[in-house]
Amino acid sequence: MIDLNTLISLVIFLSVVLSSLFTMVLIIIKKKVYGTVSIIIMSLYIISTRGIFFLSLYGFSFLFYFSPEVNLLLWEISQVAGFITLFLTFIFYTMLKNYGSLKPLSILFIIFFFGLLVGELLIEDSIKIILYDSTLPEFSLVNPFLINYIFCPYLKIIIVSYLSLVVIYSFLIWLMLRVKRYEKGEGTFSLTFNSSLAIVALIALIIYILTSEMIFRQLHFIITAITTIIVNLVIIKQPFIFFKLSNRIYSIKIYHKSGILLYSYDFENNIDIERDSYIWGNILIGLNYIIKEFLKEKKQIEVIQTRNSDLLVKYDTEYGFAVVVITSQKNKLVEILSKKLLDAFRVEFESVLNEIKDLNKIINIKDFLEAKELIEDVFKYYI
C-alpha cells in the first residue's frame, strides 16, 4: 500500500510533468498565437529544462528506487539540470533588467561558480546516497524519506554560494523591475508570486544541503513543482509575457499623409518616457510635416531612437497613412503587432481613407474614433 508521503509526491510529480508536456504541445499547436519564433523557443526551452528534464530526474531520484548507483546518477544529473535552470533564470532576469539585451560581464561570476560546481560533482564521493531501508526492491516506487543524499563539505560551500548569489541577484533585479518600471503593479502579480515562491524553494534547498534534513528537500520539490505549473499557466494565458516584461508600449499615433493626426492612444505614464518626451515630441511634430515625403520613398525611416525609447513607424503608401508606435525598445513582437494594426486600420477605415486620398478633402478625425478598439485588440497583451 502506498503511504501518504509517497502518494502526495507522486501526484505532484505527475502533475508537473503532464502539465509541462501539455503546455509544450499547446505551444506547438498554437504557435501563431505566440507571434515570434524566439518566444516559442524561449517558452519551450524553459518548460523542458525545468518541468521535464530537471523535475523528472529530481523526482525519479528519490521517488523510485533502481539501485544505489542509478539513483545517485539520477540525483547528480538532476542537480546539474537544476543549476542550469537557475542559470537560465539568472540570464532571464538580466535580460529583463536590460530590456532584452544580455551583457556578458554580468554573468561571468555565475559562470565561474557553475564551472566549480559541475567540476566538483564529477569527483567521486562528492555526494553519497543513504538508504534507510536495505530491503528496498529494485525498480519500485518508494517513500521519498527512505532515500537521502549527503554532500561533501567543499561541495556544500560551492552550492550554497551559487544558490545564494542567484537568489540575491534575482531578488534585487525583480525589486528594481517592480519599483522602477511597474509602480502600479499591473501585470506583475504572476511574476511577484512566482518569484517569491522560487526564493522560498531555494532557501529550503540551501537548508537541505546544509543539514540533510529531507523535509526541506520535499519542501523544495513541492514549491518548485507549484511554481513550474504557475509558469506553464502564465505562458498559456499570456503568450507574449517575456517580451511584455522586457518591453513597454507607451503610445500609438496614426497620421495621415497630410500630417494630420487621425488617432492617438496612450498606454501609460512613465518616468523614463517623460525624460524623452521633449525629444520625441519634437520628432512627432516633425513627422506631421514630412510623413507625406516618407510615404513616397522606397527607403523609409522605420525606427527613430532616443535615450529611453524607440519610435517605430509603419507606412501604408496606398492609402497614405502611417502608424507610429512609441516603445521602450523595438523588438520583433512590436514590429509584428504594428504591422497587424496597420492592416487592421486599413481594412476598418478603407472607405474613409479612400475619400481623403485627395488632400483637398476635409478630414474629420471623429471618423476614426473606433481605432481605439482596434488598438486595444491588437495590443491587448500590453494593456
Q: What is the pLDDT of residues 189-198, one digit of tens each?
A: 556 677 778 8
DSSP annotation of 331 reads: -
DSSP, collapsed to helix, strand or coil, labels residue 248 as: coil
DSSP, collapsed to helix, strand or coil, labels residue 350 as: helix
Beta strands in 321-373 (DSSP E): 321-327
pLDDT digits (tens, 9 = 90+) for 322-347: 898 888 777 777 888 899 999 999 99
**pLDDT bracket for residue 275 (50, 70, 90):** very low
Residues with Cβ < 8 Å from 154, sequence gap 6 or more? 120, 126
pLDDT digits (tens, 9 = 90+) for 151-187: 999 888 888 887 887 777 767 766 765 654 444 444 4
**Cross-strand partners of 311:** 304, 326
Q: What is the mean pLDDT of residues 204-218?
A: 94
Please report the DSSP string for 80-117 in residue order. Answer: HHHHHHHHHHHHHHHHHHTTT---GGGGHHHHHHHHHH
CA dist., res. 35 & res. 337, Å (int): 9
pLDDT above 70: percentage of residues in the chain: 74
Lowest average pLDDT, out of 298-307, 337-346, 369-378, goes to 298-307
pLDDT digits (tens, 9 = 90+) for 32-87: 777 667 677 777 887 888 888 889 899 999 999 999 999 999 998 888 888 777 77
Lowest average pLDDT, out of 41-50, 119-128, 273-282, 287-296, goes to 273-282
The structural domains of the chain, ordered by start, are 4-245 (1.20.1070), 249-382 (3.30.450.70)
Give pairs for 206-211: CB < 8 Å, separation 24+. Answer: 206/160, 206/163, 206/164, 209/151, 209/156, 209/159, 209/160, 209/163, 210/156, 210/160
Q: Which of 27, 8, 29 is nearest to 19 (CA)?
A: 27
State residue 20's pLDDT score.
92
Q: Which of 183, 225, 178 is nearest to 200 (CA)?
A: 225
State residue 122's pLDDT score.
72
State residue 380's pLDDT score.
79
Q: Which of 343, 350, 323, 320 is nearest to 258 (CA)?
A: 320
DSSP, collapsed to helix, strand or coil, labels residue 351 as: helix
Distances (CA, A) of 240 to 51, 110, 115, 235, 244: 20, 28, 33, 8, 6
Three cell numbers, residue 244? 511584455
CA dist., res. 80 & res. 76, Å (int): 6
- With a cut of 60, say whether residue 359 has pLDDT above it: yes
Per the listing, cell 526492491 goes with 137
- With a cut of 60, say whether residue 271 has pLDDT above it: no
State residue 99's pLDDT score.
46
- With a cut of 90, say whether residue 129 has pLDDT above it: yes
Residues with Cβ < 8 Å from 146, sequence gap 6 or more? 65, 131, 132, 133, 136
State residue 104's pLDDT score.
55
pLDDT digits (tens, 9 = 90+) for 84-100: 777 776 666 665 555 44
Under 8 Å between Cβ of 253 and 261:
yes
Q: Which of 336, 176, 375 is nearest to 240 (CA)?
A: 336
Residue 329 sits at φ, ψ, to 5 deg, of: -165, 135
